[in-house]
Structure 1
Amino acid sequence: MLTDRPLTIGTLLRVFSRRIVLTWLMTLAETTLMALIPLFIGFAIDDLVEGRMENFWQLAGIMAALIVFAVIRRIYDTRAYGSVRVALGKEQAVRSSSLPVSALNARLSMGRELVDFLEQNLPDAMTAAVQLTVSVIVLYAFAPMLAVAAGAAAVAMVLIYALFHGRFFRLNSALNRQSEKQVSVFEQRKSRPIHVHLMRLRQHEIRLSDTEAVLYGLIFVVLLGLILFNLWFAASRLDMTVGTIFSIISYSWEFVESALALPVTLQTWSRLSEIMRRLNSVQVQAGPG
């Protein structure tokens, strides 16, 4: 299935499109139901305060449907993506048969990250996209200024990440290059080379972690500013019921949680871009470290 094709995310999507699309459809159904819950909680609060039960039972029905979709999707996902991992691993073993065992072992692990991206990161990004869209629509329905603030926060996040993309690519390249040496280093069974190798891995991981910490610190400043602004605006500038204010804050927080998936996805894509370049090379990448 993968013979004579580049080993990329796009290739996996084309070759295994039916299996992947089905998992994504179930993800979208689950996400849509999840996105409706805060809104119906607000409706249920207002109904219960007035002695009515209609929206309460609608909320219960949405939660029950959510559980059904969530369970079925997870059962199917494991089997579908497991088959993709097997096919990709077999093709990698054939193509990289001339590489040192150390590099082949590392690249097999890297190849699994492509499937992990399809199974975890892309569905998370789709979930976030749906939740972001619903959040902005609901906030706009309450007051356009709430949606404008959310949109401004999203733009700021993308601009912040753009400043870090190149550094993430370089740091992941250095980490992957060092990982390809691991088996050959261990085969020497000498404490000094093993120590040096592990220390270099640690150094690369620390640099990645420090970069992530700075990135997410800046992003959290933007997103928490959004929460504070929307809370202030809803409470002091709008004439709303308690249930409506709860929905506004819930959707503002949902926007924040969903927005965090954006830099995670972009960061993962930076790493996978380097991995795909490495997997489609028949040689071990040269470089320091």
Structure 2
Amino acid sequence: MHMLLKRFAGRLTLTLSMVVLESAGWLLFPLVIGRAIDGVLGGSTRGLYELAGLGIGTIFIAIGRRVVDSRAYAGIYVRLGEEMVASAAERSTSTRTARLGMLREIVEFFEHSLPQLITSTIGLAGTIVILSTLNVPVFLGCVAVAVATGILYALTGKLTTRYNEGLNDEHERQVDAVDSGDPVRLGKHLRAMTRWNIRLSDLEAGTFGINWVFMMGLLVFAVGVSAQRTVEYGAVFAIVMYVFQFVESLMALPFYYQQWLRLREISGRLARVGAEAGAPA
């Protein structure tokens, strides 16, 4: 993955810069809506014009980014796919097919998941900064929940990597198992894949459930504190919306962390192919 960032730095810089601009636009919506509400209640329409301008600017950036992304990442996938197949020419068809699919996962991560990851990260950091100016107790509650979530997923990271390694081993055997025509061998392969998928799913469900308890506690605390300590209706609305945005961003980050762990394991496999063949992976 580091190799991909280095080789295609120009294309990725353009697309990711547009992601940052788009994310900043979405981040400002609760604050601008809250100002618009207070402005209308005070007899001013300036906030409504600001909201309209923010909406139009953000959507234009979002459309432009998606148009650029589809073309940039299609070219990256074609080039890397050609190089990977050539460098793994001595490998079995099953392994080459599986690794081409794994390469597609990496490119799709950069095209789809990385922009969402950046959006969630900016949303998380931005909401914490804004909440620190709007309501200090809610801000401290968000920091505490973020730390607890980080510890939870750090403790399960090695287990996630081990399960992904086992699943990817089975993916590389799939075409050979199907091509063998042996029902016993194919059944054994499918049961093994199912076991790894179930282990990953159970681990994800458990960590998600624990994390959701943290989030619900934060939501209840934030609504109670903001209603007691804030006078302006628009400000209360903005605080609650930012807490929702914080929760949404924080719940999404572990998914991308787990996906990154899987893709790191895949990248290691593809890099080994290139190293063995003396060509880029």
TM range (shorter): over 0.9
Equivalent in the alignment of 1:269 = 260
What is the alpha-carbon distance in structure 2 between the residues aligned to residue 63 and residue 17 of structure 1? 30
> In structure 2, which of residues 35, 57, 63 is the aligned counterpart of residue 43 of structure 1?
35
Give the TM-score normalised by the residue count of structure 2: 0.93
Q: Does 1:69 align with 2:39?
A: no
Shift of 1:262: 2.0
The answer to which of 76-85 and 41-50 deviates more is 41-50
What is the alpha-carbon distance in structure 2 between the residues aligned to residue 52 and residue 282 of structure 1? 64
> In structure 1, which of residues 174, 190, 194 is the aligned counterpart of residue 166 of structure 2?
174
Q: Match for 2:96: what amino acid?
A: L
Shift of 1:163: 1.2
Equivalent in the alignment of 2:116 = 124
Equivalent in the alignment of 2:278 = none
Shift of 1:215: 1.1
What is the alpha-carbon distance in structure 2 between the residues aligned to residue 210 and residue 247 of structure 1? 36
Q: Does 1:211 align with 2:215?
A: no
What is the alpha-carbon distance in structure 2 between the residues aligned to residue 120 and residue 239 of structure 1? 38
What is the alpha-carbon distance in structure 1 between the residues aligned to residue 137 and residue 76 of structure 2? 45
* Stretches (4+) displaced over 6 A: none
What is the alpha-carbon distance in structure 2 between the residues aligned to residue 223 and residue 85 of structure 1? 38
Q: Does 1:99 align with 2:91?
A: yes
Contact 2:230-2:236 within 8 A present in 1 as well: no
Equivalent in the alignment of 1:115 = 107
What is the alpha-carbon distance in structure 1 between the residues aligned to residue 109 and residue 169 of structure 2? 20
> What secondary structure is seen at the aligned counterpart in 2 of 1:240?
coil
Contact 1:99-1:282 within 8 A present in 2 as well: no
Q: Does 1:133 align with 2:133?
A: no
Equivalent in the alignment of 2:237 = 246
Equivalent in the alignment of 1:144 = 136
Root-mean-square deviation over aligned CA pairs: 1.4
Task: Tell me how many residue pairs correspond in the alignment.
Answer: 274
**1:159-206, CA deviations, whole angstroms, 9 ceiling, x for partnerless residues?**
000111011111001100001111111112233322222222112111
Q: Does 1:19 align with 2:28?
A: no
The answer to which of 54-63 and 273-282 deviates more is 273-282
> In structure 1, which of residues 196, 199, 213 is the aligned counterpart of residue 191 of structure 2?
199
Shift of 1:50: 2.9
Contact 2:35-2:47 within 8 A present in 1 as well: yes
What is the alpha-carbon distance in structure 1 between the residues aligned to residue 171 and residue 124 of structure 2? 37
What is the alpha-carbon distance in structure 1 between the residues aligned to residue 70 and residue 222 of structure 2? 39
Shift of 1:122: 2.2
The answer to which of 250-259 and 135-144 deviates more is 135-144
Question: Which has the larger share of helix?
Answer: 2
What is the alpha-carbon distance in structure 1 between the residues aligned to residue 43 and residue 260 of structure 2? 50
Equivalent in the alignment of 1:4 = none
Contact 1:128-1:259 within 8 A present in 2 as well: yes
